[in-house]
Amino acid sequence: MMDLNARLKKFKEAEYDVNKEKYEKIINQQNPHTLFITCCDSRIDVEKMMQADPGEVFHIRDIANIVPRERDPEGHIPIVSSIEYAVQVLEVENVVVCGHSNCGGCAALMHLDDYETSLPHTAHWLRQSLPLRDYVREKYSEESEAEQLVLLEKLNVFQQLVNLMTYGFVSEKVTAGTVKLTGLYFNIATGIVSVYGYDPEMKDLLEEIAEDVKAAPDVC
C-alpha cells in the first residue's frame, strides 16, 4: 500500500524546504496566468507539462475535460463557478482545455449504455457530450472504432472551447483580447502535445459541431 505519510514528509524536506523562498512568495495570494481545464486522469501532470511553479496554474479537473454549456449550469455549479472565479477574479490570461489519448471518459461515452447502471453519476456527466459522440459516429462512420475514439478525444477539446464561449464573461474577454483560448491534446504514448488555437482555421469545424449541439435536445 502507498505510504502517503512518507511521501508528504519527503515533499516537505526535499521540495518545500529546499524551495522555501519560492513558496513564501505565494503565501498570501495567488496570481495564476492560466486556467487549465483537463481530465481527472492521473497520467496528466499539469505542472510538469507546463513547466510551471506553484501559483502559476489554476486547475479544473473532471472526467473527459467537459465544460458545461451556459444553458446547463444548474447541476454543474462547481465547474462553472471555478471558471467564473478564474476569469473574473484571478483575471487569468489563458484558458486551456487539455484532452488526451486513451481517455477512459471518451471511451465510456462510445458505449454509454453499458455504464448507466454501474456508474450512473459518471454516465450522467458524460451525457453532455452525446451529441458530439453521435456527430463523430455519423461523420466518420467508415473509420474503425479506435479511430473514432481518437477523433472524439480531439474534437471533444474543440467542443469545450465552443462551450466556454457560451459564457458572456468569457466571450467578452476573448473578443477584447485579454483572454486567449487554447486547446491541447496530449498523446501519452509519444509525449507530444498538439496545440489548437481558437482562431479562424478551426472556425468552420467549431460552428458545424456547435450547430449539431444546438439542434440536440437538452440532456442534463
C-alpha cell at position 113: 449504455
Cα gap 94→173, rounded to integer Å? 10
DSSP codes, 128-146: GGHHHHHHHHHHTTTS-HH
Residue 40 has what DSSP assignment?
-
DSSP 76: G
| CA 107 to mean position of chain CA atoms | 16
User: Which residues carry out catalysis?
Assistant: 39, 41, 43, 100, 103
Cα 163 off chain centre by: 11
Residue 58 forms beta bridges with which residues?
A: 35
